[in-house]
Amino acid sequence: MRYFPIFVDTQDQDCLVVGAGEVAARKIELLLKTEARIHVIAPDACNTVLQYAQQGRIQFEQRRFQDKDVSTQTLIFVATDNNHLNAHIHQIARDKGIMVNVVDNTPLCRFITPAIVDRSPIVVALSSGGSAPVLLRYIRQKLETVLPHSISKLGTLFQRFRDRVKAAFSDVDARRAFWEEVMEGDVAEHIYNNQETKAETALIQRLTQVESQTAEEGAKKGAVYLIGAGPGDPELLTFKALRLMQKADVVVYDRLVSKDILEMVRRDAEKVYVGKAKSNHTLPQGEINQLLVERALAGQRVVRLKGGDPFIFGRGGEEIETLFQYNIDFQVVPGITAATGAASYSGIPLTHRDHAQSVVFATGHLKEDTIDLDWPALVQKGQTLVFYMGLTGLPIICKQLVQHGMPKDMPIALVQSATCEQQRVVTGTLTDIVAKAEQEALKPPTLIIVGSVVSLHDKLKWF
């Protein structure tokens, strides 16, 4: 390891930047994140640097560099376009033992600046020693996505309670276990959810228990995460969904959740299938609600994984009503609903300036051979209709729409297994689609899209 990573304390320290073009401005931007006093010397400056000077964030002297400018600074950046001058400043700084960096000239750098992921007070610094900048950018992007922004707030909370926690535990292992529990448990979860006060209260509560030695060994508070898993393609999961899925003690899932997605749940989690196929309910809704409550009260972290979005024909509302009754902590994570998934992956925009100004999501679920919908409200000009659970009721949907004034040749699409590898799209009109659906032997899950936007499918399909 040629470059030894360190973090330099910048509080009350002077840093000098020679040069004030765009290249210098990038380094100044970095320094502005710190607490250093920034001094910039250059005969000319770009607008960015001038602006910083006007805002009083840096001290700027518009003049040529003089040797005596190098005095007792902690760090010096050199970014002039005069190579000779750059080398000269490097030499003076070096002689005085000052850390100097000539920008974009590695041989003249006594230190290099890493790529950073800034979640202050948590800062991740990365370097390839100048050897693989593209690889470095790639790794940094990965880290940016896996480290929630709120890690920063968690860091601040840890910082504030550090001394109190230290005092509460004489044993280092017990202290580490406490912090680990905080990180894994509801304190961190509240922070990730932007509920800082709640997080602090939970932390204080836990700490008070420890201080008064009433803490039950390993007592853990359960919670339910109601997560929308999207329509099928695992890449359509949200970061939040993935993070919570990896915390699960138990996952309660239904039929629409694909195997690939289930594999992304924490490996050791128990998996409970409560799948609902049409007219073949594995577990009645009331029992699912009770199951969630029981597991959470037993201290488990329960992931309730649902296809699409939990609040769109997902009965998520009913499940959280029960959780409310039992005062159980929960979160709801939205997912990409079948309508938007199917629309995107079949090249059928649900709204379009020339075709539709509104879109309605309706259920096509049959009850005693009818579908209870406000048909006149559905049959409107410039409105796209999306029917969930409508495959069995397709003949009735088509009949009702025509009876209520929709043109017989209105385009209609059936999208089976939207966003999945095996996605199929069948298009037709209100007159011929029923026969086509039979011919193609379409199976659930299938979504129905009705409206002139469907005519765009041929032109816009890409998947």
Which sequence positions are flagged as catalytic?
A: 254, 276
Other CB atoms within 10 A of residue 293 CB: 19
The answer to the question of residue 19 lying near ligand SAH (CB under 6 A) is no
Nearest residue (beta carbon) to ligand SAH: 308
Other CB atoms within 10 A of residue 240 CB: 17
Q: How far is the CB of 366 from ligand SAH (least distance, A)?
A: 11
For ligand SAH, what does the binding mask look like between residues 338 and 357, x meaning CB under 6 A?
x---x---------------
The answer to the question of residue 334 lying near ligand SAH (CB under 6 A) is no
378-397 positions binding ligand SAH, by CB under 6 A? 388-389
Q: Which amino acid is at 219?
A: A
Among 135-143, 267-275, 326-334, 335-343, the segment contacting ligand SAH (CB under 6 A) = 335-343
Distance, in Å, from the CA atom of 195 to the CA atom of 369, rounded to the nearest integer, reads 47
Q: Which of helix, strand or coil describes residue 377?
A: helix
Q: Which amino acid is at 135?
A: L
Of 86, 101, 300, 337, the residue at the interface with ligand SAH (CB under 6 A) is: 337
| Planar angle of CA 159, 160, 161, nearest 5 degrees | 95
Cβ atoms 447, 414 nearer than 8 A? yes
- Strands of the sheet with 329-333, listed across from one edge: 270-273, 250-253, 301-306, 223-228, 329-333
Structure tokens at 191: 């922070």
Of 65 and 313, which has the nearer Cβ to ligand SAH? 313
- Strands of the sheet with 411-416, listed across from one edge: 358-363, 383-388, 446-450, 411-416, 424-429
The answer to the question of residue 373 lying near ligand SAH (CB under 6 A) is no
Q: How far is the CB of 254 from ligand SAH (least distance, A)?
A: 9
Q: How far is the CB of 344 from ligand SAH (least distance, A)?
A: 12
Cβ atoms 333, 227 nearer than 8 A? yes
**How many whole angstroms from its chain centre is CA 160?**
26
Distance, in Å, from the CA atom of 350 to the CA atom of 344, rounded to the nearest integer, reads 9
224-243 positions binding ligand SAH, by CB under 6 A? 231-232
Of 185 and 445, which has the nearer Cβ to ligand SAH? 445
- The H or E element spanning position 77 is strand 75-78
413-442 positions binding ligand SAH, by CB under 6 A? 415, 417-419
Q: How far is the CB of 353 from ligand SAH (least distance, A)?
A: 26
For ligand SAH, what does the binding mask look like between residues 34 and 73, x meaning CB under 6 A?
----------------------------------------
Among 5-13, 27-35, 303-311, 375-383, the segment contacting ligand SAH (CB under 6 A) = 303-311
Query: Strand 411-416 vs strand 424-429: parallel, antiparallel, or unpaired?
Result: antiparallel
The answer to the question of residue 308 lying near ligand SAH (CB under 6 A) is yes
The answer to the question of residue 189 lying near ligand SAH (CB under 6 A) is no
The answer to the question of residue 444 lying near ligand SAH (CB under 6 A) is yes
The answer to the question of residue 307 lying near ligand SAH (CB under 6 A) is yes
Rg, C-alpha atoms of the chain: 30
| Interface with ligand SAH (CB under 6 A) | 231-232, 256, 306-309, 312-314, 337-338, 342, 388-389, 415, 417-419, 444-447
